[in-house]
């Protein structure tokens, strides 16, 4: 490794949370209040254990693998190809993302038409809680065209990480999306919502206690992508390795560098996910 590379990797700087902040609180029933704590930057994360109906999870997984809308994906944050249904905004024109969201809408709606489907009731209950404060949750949109409500995805990497260390903050600086309302959230928290439909051995969430500053992101060439962060750059930062089980829903501040441990051979990890954040004092928007 060159001297310049070593110097760059050794200086990942940014914001770190204190002991009260940098933790996950656990519940066995859904409660919207700790989700709001994450959205408002008061806590790193929350996990609701076993709150997804097992029958709904099984049916969603079955439909995922049988759906003709399922696609393969590889890229900066994935060590090998995976599968997904939905639309990614990542590194695209706003129009392209909205076009792809419209194209997948019917197939995604058909897949999600399952009793007890968790993204529906999660949104309804969070929106009810926001309404008590005069706020609301809705899909991101531009010119009346909505974004994608949820990604269903499975990564099949066999290295150290199924999903490479990355953060979800830098993506909101993408120049091709300067006209998109999700870019009004950078001064606020990007809350990552994940719903685990199936998971065998391994597949832990790992999250480091650092939200990289602009200088670090620019030095590493990640100021528009946020991925992947070299593991060497993270070794001096405290981390949490959170076991994820089928039926869990977890929400955390996606501005922190985070990744997903590779699952054990033969195990499958399939999740539903989206990001969300306040774009103004009374509006939470979500995107994928």
* pLDDT tens readout for residues 96-131: 999 999 999 999 999 999 999 999 999 999 999 999
pLDDT at residue 75, rounded to an integer: 56
Gyration radius (Cα) of the chain, Å: 18
| Tokens representing residue 37 in the block | 């704590």
pLDDT at residue 82, rounded to an integer: 82
pLDDT at residue 19, rounded to an integer: 93
- Alpha helices, DSSP H only, in the chain? 3-9, 32-39, 54-66, 94-112, 118-131, 214-219
pLDDT at residue 72, rounded to an integer: 87
Place of tokens 């830098």: 170
**Rounded distance between C-alpha atoms, residue 266 and residue 202, angstroms:** 11
> What are the residues whose beta carbons fall under 8 Å from the beta carbon of 217, sequence distance 6 or more?
170, 223, 226
Q: How far apart are the first and last CA of the chain?
A: 36
pLDDT at residue 9, rounded to an integer: 52
Q: Name the pairing type of β-strands 239-242 and 145-146.
A: unpaired
**Domain 3-287 CATH (choose: 3.90.950.20, 3.90.76.10, 2.60.120.620, 3.90.1170.50):** 2.60.120.620
pLDDT at residue 200, rounded to an integer: 79
**Half-sphere exposure of 223 toward its Cβ, with a 13 Å CA cutoff?**
9
Question: Helices 32-39 and 118-131 meet at what angle, rounded to 10?
Answer: 80
Q: How far is CA 270 from the centre of its chain?
A: 13
Question: 238: phi > 0 → left, psi -120 to 50 → alpha, else beta; which?
Answer: beta
> What are the residues whose beta carbons fall under 8 Å from the beta carbon of 99, sequence distance 6 or more?
none
Torsion angles phi and psi, residue 72, rounded to 5: -100, 150
Question: Closest by alpha carbon to 273, among 193, 179, 184, 173?
Answer: 193
pLDDT lower than 50: segments of the chain: 1-7, 76-80
**Cα–Cα distances in Å, from 199 out to 150, 211, 242, 250?**
19, 27, 13, 14
Torsion angles phi and psi, residue 2, rounded to 5: -70, 160
| Tokens representing residue 15 in the block | 């914001």
pLDDT one-digit tens code per residue, 264-277: 887 889 999 999 99
Q: Name the pairing type of β-strands 136-139 and 283-287.
A: parallel
């Amino acid at each position: 490794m060159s001297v310049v590379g070593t110097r760059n990797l050794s200086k990942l700087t940014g914001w770190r949370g204190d002991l009260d902040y940098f933790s996950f609180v656990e519940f066995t029933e859904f409660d919207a209040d700790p989700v709001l704590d994450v959205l408002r930057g008061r806590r790193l994360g929350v996990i609701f254990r076993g709150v997804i109906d097992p029958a709904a999870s099984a049916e969603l997984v079955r439909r995922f693998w049988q759906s003709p809308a399922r696609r393969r994906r590889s890229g900066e944050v994935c060590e090998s190809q995976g599968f997904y249904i939905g639309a990614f905004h990542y590194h695209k024109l706003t129009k392209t993302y909205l076009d792809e969201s419209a194209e997948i809408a019917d197939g995604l709606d058909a897949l999600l038409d399952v009793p007890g489907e968790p993204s529906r009731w999660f949104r309804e209950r969070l929106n009810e809680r926001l309404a008590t404060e005069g706020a609301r949750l809705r899909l991101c949109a531009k010119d009346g065209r909505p974004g994608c409500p949820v990604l269903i995805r499975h990564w099949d990497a066999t290295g150290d990480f199924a999903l490479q260390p990355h953060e979800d903050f830098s993506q909101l600086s993408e120049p091709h999306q300067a006209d998109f309302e999700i870019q009004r959230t950078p001064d606020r928290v990007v809350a990552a919502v994940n719903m685990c439909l199936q998971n065998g051995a391994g597949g832990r969430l790992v999250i480091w206690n650092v939200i990289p500053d602009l200088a670090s992101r620019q030095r590493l060439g990640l100021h528009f992508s946020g991925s992947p962060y070299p593991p060497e750059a993270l070794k001096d930062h405290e981390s949490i390795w959170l076991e994820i089980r089928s039926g869990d829903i977890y929400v955390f501040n996606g501005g922190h560098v985070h990744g997903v441990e590779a699952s054990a051979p033969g195990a499958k990890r399939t999740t539903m996910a989206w990001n969300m954040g306040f774009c103004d004092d009374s509006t939470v928007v979500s995107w994928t």
